[in-house]
């Protein structure tokens, strides 16, 4: 069993990952600074339902399973705070614990995750750059100095690649030029400040791998949907964060809420924007398999973490069909695209690597969408239509 440090452990993906790995018997420490909760409150974009604090969630988990998840609330953009997690000086919430051993694995979710937030104004762009790059840089140096055998699993994004007019390889590309050949990181062209910060993350860690022989797995993840994992179903208090606003809500989760309250499904432009998607269960699977089969020392291993590709139009049609079957009045509205992006484009990413190490995909079937509808319908009275679409513009 491993000693695992999860950065961003309060988040949509971080908390379910923590429970999943704790259930397997790993020693889990989760760290967060409540950026997402605090930002939602500051921007007045409430979540679908209230979520207990991180120490409260860990307490519920312990009561139900007898397994301890250690909790540290701190800002990882501060180098001293990051290093405290590796040198035994961190302060933990809830049950008092002594210094723990150096982590074997660090799962890095601790970033500002929203493209719209990063494009709201200069301040939000600066927040995105400062948080994301400082946290990654602090982590890289802490591992170099204090845990140089540890495996970093970092959550990247397929948005780093943009939508090139060639096939997207898994992180790397071989180039023949003037009779010579070499291997390079696949060209990247992020469509927002957030995506650009993630490109810089990859470059930082690639530097650490080249200079200091760090071991890193970079998971280029597509938009995630869903709520349920084996652990979140144990108790309503263990549910993960669910945003449905334009800033933090992913498209499928947002469309389901819109369908339930009769808000038109807002397709940007023609809706041909195609991306790779995956169920929240597959996010956890991918991290788990990457943990079981770690990168080698001096290796930056990159997986494209998606299970299928769909256009915004296709997603809206699936959600509309299921919504109508459930008795909702679901309409689709094409709105002026607030983003600067191609609305019809070539998109053919490779995503075989995770399958090769044992991930079994879940797909966006009507049955899966029905289950998501069922869960969200239980919270219909809490939905606020005024926060769904604000039209944050790139230009």
- DSSP class of residue 179? T
Retrieve residue 244's tokens.
């449905």
Query: One of 157, 202, 229, 283 is an active-site residue; which one?
Result: 157
| Separation of alpha carbons 146 and 5, rounded Å | 14
The tokens for 217 are: 């797995």
Is 250 an annotated catalytic residue?
no
Q: Which of 256, 257, 233, 254 is nearest to 382 (CA)?
A: 257
**Active-site residue (options: 136, 198, 229, 244):** 198
Nearest to 305 by CA among 178, 234, 366, 220: 220
Closest CA to 220 of 186, 171, 173: 171
Per the annotation, the verdict on 161 as an active-site residue is no
- When computed from its CA atoms, the radius of gyration of the chain, rounded to whole angstroms, is 20
- For residues 181 and 195, give the distance between their C-alpha atoms in angstroms, rounded to a whole number: 29
Contact 388, 258 (CB under 8 A): yes
Which one is catalytic: 12, 70, 109, 194? 194
Active site annotation includes 157: yes
Residue with tokens 């309503």: 236
Which residues 6+ apart lie within 8 Å of 296 measured at CB? 215
Angle between helix axes 193-212 and 122-146 (nearest 10 degrees) is 20
Let me know the angle formed at the C-alpha of 156 by 367 and 56, rounded to the nearest 5 degrees.
Answer: 70
* CA distances (Å), origin 189, targets 46, 160, 164, 242, 246: 32, 6, 8, 29, 22
Would you name the residues annotated as active-site residues?
A: 157, 194, 198
């Amino acid at each position: 069993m491993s000693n695992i440090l999860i950065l961003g452990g309060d988040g949509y993906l971080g908390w379910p990952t923590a429970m999943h790995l704790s259930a397997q018997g790993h020693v889990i420490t989760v760290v967060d600074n409540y950026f997402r909760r605090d930002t939602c409150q500051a921007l007045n974009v409430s979540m679908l339902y209230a979520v207990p604090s991180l120490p409260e969630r860990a307490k519920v988990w312990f009561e139900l399973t007898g397994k301890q998840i250690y909790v540290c609330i701190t800002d990882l953009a501060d180098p001293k705070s990051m290093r405290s997690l590796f040198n035994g000086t961190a302060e933990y919430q809830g049950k008092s614990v002594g210094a723990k051993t150096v982590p074997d694995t660090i799962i890095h979710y601790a970033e500002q995750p929203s493209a719209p937030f990063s494009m709201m104004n200069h301040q939000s762009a600066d927040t995105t750059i400062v948080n994301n790059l400082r946290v990654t840089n602090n982590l890289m140096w802490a591992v170099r100095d204090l845990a140089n055998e540890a495996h970093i699993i970092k959550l990247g994004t397929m948005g780093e690649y943009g939508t090139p007019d060639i096939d997207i390889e898994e992180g790397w590309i071989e180039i023949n030029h003037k009779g010579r050949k070499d291997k390079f990181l696949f060209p990247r062209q992020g469509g927002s400040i957030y995506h650009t910060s993630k490109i810089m993350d990859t470059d930082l860690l690639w530097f650490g791998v080249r200079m200091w022989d760090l071991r890193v797995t970079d998971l280029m993840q597509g938009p995630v949907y869903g709520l349920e994992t084996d652990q979140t179903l144990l108790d309503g208090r263990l549910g993960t964060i669910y945003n449905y606003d334009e800033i933090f809500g992913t498209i499928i989760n947002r469309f389901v809420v819109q369908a339930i309250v009769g808000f038109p499904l807002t397709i940007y432009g023609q809706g041909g924007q195609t991306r790779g998607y995956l169920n929240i269960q597959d996010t956890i699977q991918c991290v788990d398999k990457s943990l079981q089969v770690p990168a080698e020392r001096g290796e930056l291993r990159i997986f494209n973490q998606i299970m299928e590709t769909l256009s915004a139009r296709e997603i809206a049609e699936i959600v509309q069909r299921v919504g109508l079957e459930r008795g909702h009045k679901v309409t689709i509205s094409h709105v002026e695209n607030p983003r600067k992006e191609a609305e019809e484009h070539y998109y053919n990413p490779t995503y075989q690597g995770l399958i090769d190490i044992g991930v079994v995909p879940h797909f966006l079937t009507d049955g899966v969408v029905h289950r998501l509808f069922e869960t969200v319908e239980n919270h219909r009275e809490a939905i606020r239509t005024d926060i769904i679409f604000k039209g944050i513009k790139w230009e």
